[in-house]
Amino acid sequence: MMPLGVPKDLENRIGYHFHNQALLKQALTHSSFSNEQKINKKPHYERLEFLGDAVLELVARDFLYHKYPQMAEGKFSKKREAMVCEASLALCAEDLDLGNFLLLGKGEESDRGRIKASIIADVMEAIIGAIYLDGGMEPAKAHIYRFILSDLEHKTLFYDSKSNLQEYIQKHLKKEFHYELVGMSGPEHDKIFQVEVLMEGVRLGSGQGRTKKAAEQKAAYEALLGFKAAGKELNSCI
């Protein structure tokens, strides 16, 4: 798949228009693409990712410090880690469809680089770094609040949904449960996995994803939402 219109389409999605367009293009350029260029080699996103990681860390810590003034340090750290971990950033990147905007080398392209959580999470941080360099802290902070720190309760529940589900069931139900692969679809290079989470033969939730791990995470999240809808207390998990 070729990248979509770069960078205007993405600028419209994120709600920020760059003064220096080269920064956004760099944030979307993987090292594999850069390394394939024989002349006019383009800079890749790793330096921007390094900067964006630091900006995100500061904004997330400041947000949590002021939002939860009575929270103990241990739980504070756990919530922060859930917010900025690879899985959480990849989820936010999927909402923006970042994978379709990437510039990848041929090898990374064939290795499904556009949907790798590790890559799109890094690009999410690189875009934060690019916005920070282009416009300063305020637009970078606004971007983080809009796409990473919004709807925090449900995102926190999703980010660590497998651990949250295990903790809830062990504490309140004290029963065994497991994940089961129930189906696969699509071509070999682009499979979709369908997974169910079961407890004593009863389906608690189902999910699909491009990896079994992603499908399990979504199944666990659906199970947690089911418990929440039934009036179960999930505060201990989040």
Does residue 235 lie within any of the structural domains? no
Chosen domain end from 133, 152, 171: 152
141 conformational bin, left if phi > 0, alpha if psi -120 to 50, beta if neither: alpha
Q: Is the same domain home to 114 and 29?
A: yes
98 & 168 share domain: no
pLDDT at 9: 87
Q: Are 238 and 164 in contact (CB under 8 A)?
A: yes
- Of the two residues 18 and 83, the one the predictor is more confident about is 18
Residue 1 in this model has a pLDDT that exceeds 60: no
Q: Which CATH number is 45's domain given?
A: 1.10.1520.10
- What tokens were used for 48? 């921007």
Active site residue 233: no
Secondary structure (3-state) at 171? helix
Please give the residue range of the domain that contains residue 123: 8-152
31/129 same-domain check: yes
Dump pLDDT digits (tens) for 162-215.
988 999 999 999 999 999 999 998 777 778 899 999 999 999 999 988 788 888
Q: Which pLDDT does position 236 carry in this prediction?
A: 54
Asked if 170 and 65 sit in the same domain, the reply is no
Q: Does residue 124 sit in the same domain as residue 142?
A: yes
**Residue 39 has what pLDDT?**
65
What is the DSSP code (8-state) at residue 176?
A: -
Half-sphere exposure of 36 (CA within 13 A, CB side): 12
**Global pTM value:** 0.76
Tell me, yes or no, whether 1 lies in a domain. Answer: no
Domain boundary, last residue among 102, 118, 152: 152
Residue 3 falls inside a structural domain: no
CATH number at residue 189: 3.30.160.20
> Cα 137 to chain center, whole Å?
22
Q: Are 57 and 148 members of one domain?
A: yes
Which one of the listed residues 49, 122, 125, 196 is annotated catalytic? 125
Q: What is the mean pLDDT of the chain?
A: 87
Residue 53 annotated to the active site = yes
In a domain, 119, yes or no: yes
Nearest to 51 by CA among 13, 12, 23, 20: 23
90 and 147 share one domain: yes
Q: Is residue 180, in this structure, part of any structural domain at all?
A: yes
Total domain count, the chain: 2
Which member of 49, 53, 160, 196 is catalytic? 53
* Residue 231 one-letter amino acid: G
Q: Which of 152, 171, 199 is the last residue of a domain?
A: 152
Over pLDDT 70: what percentage of the chain?
A: 94
